Structure 1
């Protein structure tokens, strides 16, 4: 294992000599993702489920919106900050119940990579989408129900923001 760590260190130094990039942590994250994906595939096979040749367009839209909402909820929502706290440090609120956090400089490449993953909705979307897609095959009714709830919350978020903008506009035009 020490030899692998040395190779990763040399690779990191060659890749980003003037900036700390936690390549070892990224490798661990990619390995974990591959393991999770393999576990889902194994569960699908063991359960005797069939994978659709082509997902329904309605499922793609539903999972897309649900993935967006769950990724933002996990990565940015103030209420879910206890999940990120071991890996991030609070910076400031950024509106609509969301917070900005910085990755903790812990010295651990794995912890740093997890902090980046947990505070980035774009990064988390891959994991969330994989989980929801696996859920669609393993437990389609439950997954569609959860995805529908997340999609409704996402739509509500946009309506709340549109209402706030309309209200500000109306108050700005008062005589």
Structure 2
């Protein structure tokens, strides 16, 4: 169990002690995808879904979720986030890519916050459109990039 930072030597769960870590600029980028019928995507992009502007509501949901990550994921540290940005891109006629960028000056990274942001944004797209397209699918959801801290800079390799 010593390789897992959230368990002590006896296997008991713990929140990692970050007290001695240096404060550094940290950033994480995550992405998720929502796949749907072409008609559904057209209605989203044309802002013709009866519940409202799907992507703007998903953006707000993702930002709010970022700030609640420590309440949702056991053993995550509550953080004072510097910024959260969510962007949406139609990759083709059936797929929307959601990307979040989260920044902080802190003692621990923001990978979980970035992943939570895109996950909740994707769930919000599904929730707002499920009445017209129950066959939508979500994912993959993944870390794209992170920087700061002892482990340094990571960029996911394409392909």
Which TM class, normalised by the smaller chain length?
under 0.3
Q: What is the TM-score with the length of structure 2 in the denominator? A: 0.26
Greater per-residue strand proportion: 2
Higher-Rg member (1/2): 1
Greater per-residue helix proportion: 1
